[in-house]
Amino acid sequence: MRVNKFQYTLSELTRGLEVTIKGDPHCLITGVSVIQQAQPGHITFLTNSLYRKHLAATQATAVILSEKDAEICNIHAVVCANPHYIYAKIAEFFAFPSINISGIHRTVVIGVDSRIDKTASIGAHCVIGNQVSIAKDVVIGPGCVIGDGSSIGEATQLDASVTIYNKVAIGKRTHIASGAVIGSDGFGFANQKGVWHKIPQLGGVQIGDDVDIGANTTIDCGAVDDTIIENGVKLDNLIQIGHNVKIREHTIIAGCTGIAGSAVIGKHCMIGGAAMIQGHIHIADHVMITGNTGVNKSILESGVYSSGVVGVVTNQEFKKNNARFHRLENLTQRIKLLESSLKELKEEQNK
């Protein structure tokens, strides 16, 4: 539940959105809530049919829902084609207000030849390198480090404790969460007589507009050319992106996923949590990869893809499954034997 000191009418909350209001557009909304816990004054939402059963009993004053669900609704309703999206827009009214005072905190250390727009806000104890460019309305949280020659586009936000190496270009309206590291050296070593020698990582990182990068996610710089994250890409927490990976527009990737070097992920892909994507492969546009999938080869057509065996079972059953799996060769041999015996038997019978 999130309640603000301000209140809004339904028509204020939905101005400019493609919705139909059923009920009173002037009813007052003071907060947002999930459907089971909503109180009078709250607006809630119905985006998952599992929660439809709670609609009759909700205490909410209003609800965002689809036309189909509106039929069974007896409170004020914001009816729309995409309740999830409309909720996203309405929830913005109730977000925690961020108090960003423009200006550079007195403790910030800045190198030479850097250009920082006067509307930018840079938090305490940040360190900005040489020849860094920071555009207007950028907000940089406390404790960030930005390396030489990097640039941050208009209205981009870095939360606290983000580390940007040098040679990193970040677009507009992008958001990077705490602990993310962008532009660290790619993992490249050449073996000579048993000893690994570092291959200098000469590339940078290009990050587009409207990108979201999660907490403690790491993105390596390119080996020769740049690592590229295109516009609208959304990355969750604790994701590893290897050198020279290219992720194309509007792809979304859940947490704990690893993408090895030089992989190319298409546009509008959805990649589930803890997926592991091998290096040098290509994934087409509009591909969905389910969670935990190991992608060991290129995927050339859109569709839904998975790997391995899933399904949690008791450890006892798991041990049996495991044993059966490791006896597959035995089963195969027994089937072969049955086939030949049966053939013999038939031949004898037909004599």
Does position 137 bind a copy of itself by CB under 8 A?
Answer: no
131 backbone dihedrals φ, ψ, rounded to 5°: 55, 35
Name the amino acid, one letter, at 153.
G
Among 133, 216, 264, 282, the residue binding a copy of itself under the rule CB under 8 A is 216
By rule CB under 8 A, what count of residues binds a copy of itself?
136
Length in residues, the chain: 351
Contact of 274 with 291, CB cutoff 8 Å:
yes
Burial of 222 from C-beta contacts in 10 A (0-12 / 13-18 / 19+): buried
Q: Does residue 196 belong to the site contacting a copy of itself (CB under 8 A)?
A: yes
DSSP letters for 237-291: SS-EE-TT-EE-TT-EE-TT-EE-TT-EE-TT-EE-TT-EE-TT-EE-TTEEE-T
| Subset of 148-177 contacting a copy of itself (CB under 8 A) | 148, 159-161, 163, 165-167, 175, 177
Only one of the segments 5-13, 54-62, 89-97, 113-121 lies at the binding site for a copy of itself (rule: CB under 8 A); that segment is 89-97
Which range, of 53-61, 66-74, 113-121, 271-279, touches a copy of itself by CB under 8 A? 271-279
Question: What residues numbered 22-51 form the site for a copy of itself, per CB under 8 A?
Answer: 32-34, 37
Q: Which tokens hold the place of 323?
A: 């044993």
Residues 273-332 that bind a copy of itself (CB under 8 A): 273-274, 276, 278, 288-297, 299, 303-316, 318-322, 324-329, 331-332
User: At its nearest, how many Å lie between a copy of itself and the CB of residue 54?
Assistant: 14
* Contact present, 177 and 141 (Cβ < 8 Å): no
Which of 72, 224 has the CB closer to a copy of itself? 224
User: Quick one: 24 or 81, whose CB is closer to a copy of itself?
Assistant: 81
Q: Report if residue 258 touches a copy of itself, rule: CB under 8 A.
A: yes
15 binds a copy of itself (CB under 8 A): no
Q: Is 349 in the site for a copy of itself (CB under 8 A)?
A: yes
Residue of 26, 54, 197, 243 with catalytic role? 243
Q: CB atoms < 10 A from the CB of 239, how many?
A: 25
Active site (annotated) includes residue 243? yes
* Minimum CB distance to a copy of itself, residue 330 (Å): 9
CA 187 to each of CA 137, 201, 223, 250: distance values in angstroms, whole numbers, following the listed order: 34, 8, 9, 26
Q: Is 64 helix (H, G, I), strand (E, B) or coil?
A: strand
Residues 64-83 within binding reach of a copy of itself (CB under 8 A): 82
Per DSSP bridges, beta strands 20-22 and 76-79 are antiparallel
Interaction between residue 84 and a copy of itself (CB under 8 A)? yes
Q: Which residues are catalytic?
A: 243
